[in-house]
């Protein structure tokens, strides 16, 4: 037992567990939804079964995070086209505020009786080897957890999910790159309780491998590997980033030292004053690329923004600008991609290293290339049996480089399209705006969520 944790965890569990009345009301809504979906299926004369999946079906959902996941299971003889069209038409006819989403095929997300709901078509399979898309596995996940989880472990899953929410690691979506709900459940199946999991996880090293079965599986190069008990070819923790893996291990260590309710329910970030932020960043070089936010779902947006930041950073480093750090921030309308270069400007010339003199063919080609080049300041010369040339840099100011070259980068199709039309280079004072106060506070303060 982690000293001092028992009372905290009991109080957390009371907060995150739905009451009997809330559970009863949710079951009633699901019953009504299922009845409406059945009517649509009968209207279309289809052999489709309905299955409730996800955390509600497994009774591991959090009180303030209720999502109904209703799957429509089609026979594998049905074409992919019919599955998609029928699944979408049923979702559209029942849900309000709907939007079409895309996993490996489209599904509908919306609201039913004030509850967030997804109606997802998939193929009915008996084992993962029959799957035609990743979505088909989900009912098998639900079945596996329901068959193996105990009542006490359901409580532990809820505690674990809230712990991850509190430290900013809950969710496998691209925005978070953390732990999925299913990964939480099988981790509790592996360790039985949150406390045992935390005591073990504090010592996890990159490449930690877990499995609930003895089935053979491929090697995966990810921070954490947990082999899917229903599909040995899949790593359930593939979405977990190196950053979130490290944050989780750090949180476990800190919780063991001093358990506190803020691990589960952190205090809100109190933004620093503009003067304090300015004072902190005035000694740092800072430049950013600002673009209009592409009108795409977060699952597509975040990977593209991360790729764009990498591409911009690599561009700068290719032209000899040392980048100490890079970050991005996304709000409702714009994306900021920020760089912290060691220096804003660099020397006008540089010494460029060529091949060893003994490699005559390469040496001759080097001399031929640079002897009369317009950028050559000092013609090729020999030093320590190797050729060198002093040349004029193409760019000495990072702002000029970004202005001219960002539009030539490959950053993802949606971002590329926006950058071709317009982008803005921002300097330090341009980034001291109110909508970035929280970002700057979190970046500069360096406090963990549970330390606020």
Residue 382 has pLDDT above 80, yes or no: yes
Burial bucket for residue 420 (CB in 10 Å: 0-12, 13-18, 19+): exposed
**Residue-level pLDDT at 305:** 97
pTM, rounded to two decimals: 0.90
Statement: residue 131 has pLDDT above 90: no
Predicted pLDDT at 37: 95
**CA-CA distance, 234 to 226, in Å (whole number)?**
8
Residue 31 CB-density burial (10 A; 0-12 exposed, 13-18 middle, 19+ buried): exposed
Residue with tokens 């947006």: 301
Mean per-residue pLDDT, 321-329 = 97
Mean pLDDT of the chain: 94
Cα-Cα end-to-end distance for the chain: 25
What is the structure's pLDDT at 446? 87
Segment among 6-15, 128-137, 210-219, 390-399 with least mean pLDDT: 128-137
pLDDT 10s digits, 150-162: 999 999 999 999 9
**pLDDT above 80 for 330:** yes
pLDDT band at 129 (very low <50, low <70, confident <90, very high): confident
Domains and CATH numbers, the chain: 19-138 (3.30.460.10), 149-263 (1.10.1410.30), 274-345+396-451 (3.30.70.590), 349-392 (3.30.70.1550)
| pLDDT at residue 103 greater than cutoff 80 | no
Tens of pLDDT, residue by residue over 306-321, are 999 999 999 999 999 9
Query: Which residue carries 């001219």 as its tokens?
Result: 404
pLDDT band at 104 (very low <50, low <70, confident <90, very high): low
Among positive and negative, which fits the CA dihedral 190, 191, 192, 193? Answer: negative
Q: For the residues 263-284, what does the mean pLDDT come to?
A: 94
């Amino acid at each position: 037992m982690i000293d001092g944790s028992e009372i905290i965890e009991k109080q957390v569990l009371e907060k995150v567990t739905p009451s009997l009345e809330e559970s009863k009301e949710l079951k009633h809504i699901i019953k009504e939804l299922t009845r409406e979906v059945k009517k649509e299926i009968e209207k279309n004369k289809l052999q489709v079964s309905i299955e409730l999946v996800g955390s509600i079906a497994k009774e591991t959902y959090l009180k303030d995070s209720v999502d109904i996941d209703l799957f429509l299971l089609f026979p594998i003889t049905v074409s992919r086209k019919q599955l998609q069209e029928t699944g979408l038409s049923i979702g559209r006819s029942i849900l309000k505020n709907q939007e079409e989403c895309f996993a490996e095929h489209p599904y509908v997300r919306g609201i039913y009786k004030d509850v967030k709901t997804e109606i997802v078509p998939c193929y009915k399979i008996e084992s993962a080897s029959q799957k035609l898309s990743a979505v088909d596995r989900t009912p098998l996940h639900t079945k596996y957890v329901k068959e193996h989880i105990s009542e006490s472990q359901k409580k532990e899953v809820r505690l674990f999910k809230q712990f991850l929410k509190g430290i900013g690691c809950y969710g496998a979506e691209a925005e978070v790159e953390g732990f999925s709900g299913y990964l939480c459940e099988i981790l509790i199946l592996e360790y039985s309780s949150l406390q045992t999991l935390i005591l073990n996880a504090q010592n996890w090293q990159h490449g930690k491998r877990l499995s609930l079965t003895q089935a053979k599986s491929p090697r995966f190069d990810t921070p954490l590997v947990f082999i899917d008990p229903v599909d040995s070819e899949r790593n359930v923790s593939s979405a977990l980033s190196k950053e979130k893996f490290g944050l989780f291990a750090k949180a476990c260590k800190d919780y063991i030292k001093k358990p506190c309710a803020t691990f589960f329910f952190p205090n809100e970030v109190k933004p620093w004053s503009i003067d304090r932020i300015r004072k902190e960043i005035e000694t740092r070089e800072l430049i950013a690329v600002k673009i209009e936010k592409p009108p795409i779902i977060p699952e597509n947006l975040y990977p593209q923004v991360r790729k764009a930041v990498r591409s911009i950073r690599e561009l700068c480093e290719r032209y000899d600008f040392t980048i100490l750090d890079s970050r991005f921030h996304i709000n409702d309308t714009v994306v900021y991609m920020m760089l912290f270069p060691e220096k804003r400007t660099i020397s006008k010339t540089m010494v460029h290293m060529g091949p060893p003199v003994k490699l005559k063919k390469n040496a001759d080609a080097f001399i031929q290339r640079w002897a009369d080049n317009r950028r050559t300041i000092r013609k090729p010369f020999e030093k320590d049996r190797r050729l060198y040339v002093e040349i004029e840099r193409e760019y000495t100011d990072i702002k000029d480089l970004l202005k001219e070259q960002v539009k030539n980068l490959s950053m993802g199709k949606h971002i590329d399209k926006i950058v071709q039309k317009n982008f803005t280079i921002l300097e330090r004072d341009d980034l001291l705006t109110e909508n970035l106060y929280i970002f700057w506070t979190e970046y500069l303060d360096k406090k963990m969520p549970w330390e606020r």
